A and B are shown apart, each in its own frame.
Chain A
């Protein structure tokens, strides 16, 4: 039955931005990095020589804030598109008049959002590797490469659960998009708050390696925690969605 729902969803997402977003966001990050190095090439090379850095480091320094913006932005937009496909044409009542459960629909929309977000992380990883090679790196610091590409997108799961719930709950998508944008503030400030490291907006900050330091291994513990929090939020979101009446 779940496969029926998945197949049905593919049709609905035709001609939406959903297929372009996971491509365009990593593309912009890589392009911006490329431009940064290209335009300031001499300065960067001198600086790197002086501080004993590789040509990876300018990429990490520049990616840091781009990723902090890109993850919440992408999650907000993807979940909003996935929910709005239904809001826009009043299709909830029609779907739930068919032999399909709310659980299947909810989980399926969550799965689509998560898979697309993680694919985006993979694409960014490939883009970063290609860029790194183009600017002359011949070593591959994998913990940094993963930490600045795949891992932040992997740890967006709690944010996906939260934004999806908002996008499904409110017919007017201005609300989840506004909250998603305000969330970027929490991304930047959340670490300072008490219990801040448990917030959906801070996991993808926590997994970012610090640009100038040797890495200390991949932060699987944070990934694990984020998955658990994500599944909890998914569960609570569904409990609410299950009771919602579609007029």
Chain B
């Protein structure tokens, strides 16, 4: 079952489309990585999922119910952390959780539980204004967990954290669905981060969802490719195409999807027999990062 399902979700600011016809499908029990460069529309989408802002058109279904009609019921089963941390600086960590707990009607014992989960039990009686950013962010996650949510929505939870803080939050999130059969949707602009946690990925760019599938499908795209350096590259390319091979042509090289040694040998032989002179047979690995950049077009100018 899809825990989140959006239908042609669109949000306009003036004439600009911040989010354009997005159909998200988040499967139950998965960690869904919501990826996109800064300003792509991640936060706008997530705010619409929580009902903080209203879609211009389109609709959101969470846990099988329409968000506009059953907002309260849905939100009682959702925990969330939206971008920059929310907190009461003059209160201690414990008191912050207590304020939220009273609103949610969760049992008092739950505070100690969530403090343990995010490992803030030692800092529970310190004022939150003295917390580091990482601690504030962990407090936010603790708050999100108070009502034992079925769905946890985290918007850029590692933004601005140092590597140790990022690592800590990552470990925390990875462990979650295992515990309580929770579904997690987590947004980020860093693929490397999502790659280590998510099993489903959605990539948004300029307000449009340009990829949505399992992480394995995305990884498939990063299979090594065979780069062939050859004289008369354009003719070689046409020749290979005629032979029924799937190939691509760059300025000086022919690129093929398969980098298997036996295949490389075969191609090399075919080209040589036809009178082409092969000077390179290179296996080139593409990182997910490269694919991300390729998909989103960000980084072209670098």
The stretch that binds A, out of B89-97, B226-234, B241-249, B287-295, is B89-97
Report B199 CB to chain A, min CB distance, Å: 24
| 0 or 1 for each of B66-77: is its CB under 8 Å from A? (1 = yes) | 000001110110
Chain B residues with CB under 8 Å of A98's CB are 75, 100, 103-104
From known contacts A11-B99, A96-B52, A101-B72, infer whether A90 and B86 are also in contact, taking CB-CB under 8 Å: yes
Indicate whether A5 reaches chain B with its CB closer than 8 angstroms. yes
Indicate whether A85 reaches chain B with its CB closer than 8 angstroms. yes
Indicate whether A40 reaches chain B with its CB closer than 8 angstroms. no
| 0 or 1 for each of A87-101: is its CB under 8 Å from B? (1 = yes) | 011111111111111
Report yes or no: B98 in contact with A11, Cβ–Cβ below 8 A: yes
Chain A residues with CB under 8 Å of B53's CB are 245, 247
Q: Give chain A interface residues in 1-41, CB to chain B under 8 Å.
A: 4-5, 7-9, 11-12, 14-16
From known contacts A8-B100, A96-B51, A100-B103, infer whether A88 and B89 are also in contact, taking CB-CB under 8 Å: yes
Report yes or no: B88 in contact with A8, Cβ–Cβ below 8 A: no
Q: How large is the interface on A (under 10, 10 to 19, 20 to 34, 35 or more residues)?
A: 20 to 34
Report yes or no: B87 in contact with A11, Cβ–Cβ below 8 A: no
Report yes or no: A245 in contact with B91, Cβ–Cβ below 8 A: no
Report yes or no: A90 in contact with B85, Cβ–Cβ below 8 A: yes
Chain B residues with CB under 8 Å of A247's CB are 47, 52-53
Name A97's contact: one of B50, B85, B102 (CB within 8 Å).
B50
Indicate whether B78 reaches chain A with its CB closer than 8 angstroms. yes
Distance A16 CA – B95 CA, assembled complex (angstroms)? 14
Report yes or no: B90 in contact with A94, Cβ–Cβ below 8 A: no
Q: Give chain B interface residues in 31-85, CB to chain A under 8 Å.
A: 47, 50-54, 71-73, 75-76, 78, 80, 82, 84-85
Which residue of A is nearest B129, CB measured? Answer: A89
Report yes or no: B52 in contact with A246, Cβ–Cβ below 8 A: yes
Report yes or no: A85 in contact with B86, Cβ–Cβ below 8 A: no
Q: How many residues of B contact A (CB 8 A)?
A: 33
Name A85's contact: one of B52, B82, B88 (CB within 8 Å).
B88
Distance A118 CA – B21 CA, assembled complex (angstroms)? 52
Indicate whether B143 reaches chain A with its CB closer than 8 angstroms. yes
| 0 or 1 for each of A167-194: is its CB under 8 Å from B? (1 = yes) | 0000000000000000000000000000
Which residue of A is nearest B78, CB measured? Answer: A97
Report yes or no: A8 in contact with B99, Cβ–Cβ below 8 A: yes
Distance A9 CA – B88 CA, assembled complex (angstroms)? 11
Chain B residues with CB under 8 Å of A85's CB are 88
Distance A98 CA – B73 CA, assembled complex (angstroms)? 10
Report yes or no: B105 in contact with A4, Cβ–Cβ below 8 A: yes
| 0 or 1 for each of B178-202: is its CB under 8 Å from A? (1 = yes) | 0000000000000000000000000
Report yes or no: B103 in contact with A4, Cβ–Cβ below 8 A: yes
From known contacts A12-B99, A246-B52, infer whether A91 and B75 are also in contact, taking CB-CB under 8 Å: no
Which residue of B is nearest A15, CB measured? Answer: B90
Report yes or no: B91 in contact with A14, Cβ–Cβ below 8 A: yes
Which residue of B is nearest A104, CB measured? Answer: B103
Report B75 CB to chain A, min CB distance, Å: 4
Chain A residues with CB under 8 Å of B54's CB are 245
Which residue of B is nearest A89, CB measured? Answer: B87
Report yes or no: B86 in contact with A16, Cβ–Cβ below 8 A: no
Report A167 CB to chain B, min CB distance, Å: 17
Distance A247 CA – B47 CA, assembled complex (angstroms)? 8
Residue numbers of B with Cβ under 8 A of A are 47, 50-54, 71-73, 75-76, 78, 80, 82, 84-91, 95, 98-100, 102-105, 128, 140, 143
Identify the 9 closest CB pairs spanning chains A and B, nearest first: A94-B86, A8-B102, A99-B76, A11-B99, A8-B103, A99-B75, A91-B86, A7-B102, A89-B87
Q: List 13 A-B contacts (CB under 8 A).
A: A9-B99, A11-B99, A14-B95, A16-B90, A89-B88, A90-B84, A91-B86, A93-B86, A94-B143, A96-B50, A97-B82, A99-B72, A101-B72
